[in-house]
Amino acid sequence: MDRIEYDLLPPIGARVQIHLNSVDRWVDHEVVGYYVWDNLHDYRNVHRVFVRVVDGEGYLNSRLLNDVRWNGNVPNNNEDSD
């Protein structure tokens, strides 16, 4: 199926980066799925969207969508540019 214009979710198989505190840097991962939780408050139409990822060694992880670098926001050198 074609992607929808302005979709914020990185597609399955996309290369993204997440920050790992254990090594204090952004690390490459591949998107393998998603899940959604209710909001922390009583807003029925607001949800928390998580992206499931796997690293090159097969370790699974997940991050909130806002904490994933993708779509031109992934530096080539794995350095934190913030």
pLDDT in tens, 7-40: 889 989 999 999 999 999 999 999 999 999 998 8
Label residue 71 by pLDDT band (50, 70, 90). Answer: low
- Our count of domains for the chain comes to 1
Q: Tell me 10's DSSP state.
A: P
Q: Name the residue range of residue 79's domain.
A: 1-82
Kindly list the distances between the CA atom of residue 33 and the CA atoms of 66, 74, 75, in Å, as whole numbers in the listed order: 15, 19, 22
Q: What is the pTM of this model?
A: 0.79
pLDDT at position 27 is 95
Here the CATH number for the domain that contains residue 36 is 2.30.30.140
Label residue 72 by pLDDT band (50, 70, 90). Answer: low
Euclidean distance between CA atoms 17 and 53, whole angstroms: 9
